[in-house]
Chain A
Amino acid sequence: MNVLVYIENITGKFKKSTYEVVSYAAAIAKQTGGTLTAVSIGNVDASTLAEIGKYGAIKILNVQQDALSSFVNQAYASIISQAAKSVDATVVVLSNTFTGKGLAPRVAVKLAAAYVDGALELPTITGNSFSVKRGAFSGKAFANVTLNSAIKVITLSPNAYQINDLGTTATIEDFNPSTGAHDFQTMVKEIIRASDKISLPDAELVVSGGRGLKGPENWGMIEELASLLGAATGCSKPVSDSGWRPHEEHVGQTGIAVAPNLYIAIGISGAIQHLAGVSASKVIVVINKDPEAPFFKVADYGIVGDAFEVVPQLIEAVKVLKAQA
């Protein structure tokens, strides 16, 4: 089956999640004996585009128009489905990022395709049918979704698939889709990005704080530890509800579900709603002064102790580790 992957860029650069989705899509093309084409929308230079070839795409369709330099959901969805048709793709893969979540359902409807979001593994393929594993019940379970239609749309969870450099190269072609005024009904006025912060949903490392930190004024040490580790900062629901931290840092069932390699929970007791949002983490560290905190039951490493004593020691230890490196 021919596979099309949408390679999302942020201000002309590709993120780790984009390389992951290309590797994932290349593996599906290989599984099904098809070829992989990538489609890029926006202003990405040729050398950055060429990088994608290493991961198994044989062709990159490049769509560059001024009107498309920022994200327009309808237009992007239309372009991706036109690209899929142009290469006879029966599988379309995107990243399950904020943008991917907005785009993929529209692409699926346009292509009359079955859609599964947040895939965690490669599909199991039986004839023309795919079975794809994804999270369900906000991280409390997994669901195996069967896709039966001729065309399938899949979004891949960030940090779920290994990037594989295959040493291949791709040709780059300009692609000129047809779009009309109708596709441009939303207008991005402003993009505000905290340049010094690591984004939480696709972070590899997360340092999260809870009510045990007693107040927003004590987040300095959380931020310092996170910054030394190159981690994103998160928090529990009571913390964001109290306005100590912004909502976008809320990790849990009704906030952001994360899947980092390392999740460090400091002063968070581990309510079931919070645990749901972190269950996909590979390693969980819990620091809490209450030995009965439910979070210890799902932790890989734990320290029963006062955050105000422990965290400064961790900060020093990370500094030592970095000095050795």
Chain B
Amino acid sequence: MKILVCISNVPDTTTKITFNSNNTEFNTSGVQFILNPYDELALARAIELTEGGKGSVTVVNVGLADTEPTIRKALAIGADDAIRINAAPANAYFVAQQIAKIAKEGQYELILTGRESIDYNGAQTGAMIAEIMDMPSISIIKKLTIDANTATVEREIEGGKEVITVDFPFLASVTEGVAEPKIPNMRGIMSARTKPLQVVEAIAVDTLSSISSFDLPAARSTVKLISTNESAKLIEALHSEAKVI
């Protein structure tokens, strides 16, 4: 089976977020970038599904050359080859159009993405790729098993889950539970340097949306402390002062 895993290069989860140019640009200075944690789960499951010569895993990223360390990380974890589409990711629709083109050419049976990227949290790209390619998509799955030509997935829903069957080819976005992240071993790290990383140019896409500015959350007022032996007063305050219970 040929699997395509879409990966995103995002700020490390511990990053303190600040902005430049009058709050119109994310300030990347001093920021460590990582493989998006949800994409890491997608990659881990793809590797498990193809282990023992049962297929191949290609990772694809839309980004400029500075995303290559993250792509090499994915190769070190166990992807077989990589494609970088050489463009700054303008928005989800732009990224989806780029990846859909690659995916059509590569005839993948399964396309996996993370549920969302931890920078813009759109959760858009996956389902957009599937719509452009006219294939089924299942968003936010926590389990994926394969039996012959049919896959069974568990989709998260409010307060429970749906068990869904789907034939290949399809796209799924994954969340925690689908696999445990894999840590690259020394052999992986060594081989990542020589695995194929193809760079392709982007296609033109209309810009339907753009981020005009960012804001940081307003500072919260200082905490009102209540002493341990007066804990009951907290409930009183939540009821009559904050009026939330």
Contact = CB atoms under 8 A, between A and B. Distances in A.
Interface stretch (B51-59, B104-112, B124-132, B190-198): B124-132
Contact of B231 (A133, A194, A253, A303): A303
Contact of A186 (B92, B123, B138): B138
Contacts of B136: 73-74, 185-186
5 contacts: A115-B209, A141-B217, A185-B166, A186-B136, A301-B223
Interface of B: 11, 13-17, 19, 26, 37-38, 92-93, 96, 118-128, 130-132, 134-140, 142, 152, 155-167, 170, 175-177, 206-217, 220-221, 223-228, 231-232, 234-239, 242, 244-245
B242 A283 contact: yes
A318 B235 contact: yes
B159 to A, nearest CB: 4
A133, A182, A273 pick with most chain B CB within 10 angstroms: A273
Contacts of B176: 240, 247, 250, 254-255
Given A301-B224, A303-B234, A185 B120 contact: no
A191 interface: yes
Contacts of B208: 112-115, 147-149
Contacts of B138: 73, 102, 186
The 10 closest A-B pairs by CB, nearest first: A305-B228, A102-B139, A193-B160, A199-B159, A199-B158, A114-B208, A317-B232, A105-B127, A313-B231, A317-B235
A303 B235 contact: no
Contact of B238 (A114, A188, A257, A262): A262
A145 B211 contact: yes
Given A118-B121, A141-B217, A303-B228, A109 B132 contact: yes
Interface string A173-213: 00000000010011111111110011101100100000000
Nearest to B225: A302
Given A229-B245, A317-B235, A106 B137 contact: yes
A60 to B, nearest CB: 22
Given A106-B127, A144-B215, A316 B232 contact: yes
A195 to B, nearest CB: 8
A304 B227 CA distance: 7
Given A102-B138, A305-B228, A254 B13 contact: yes
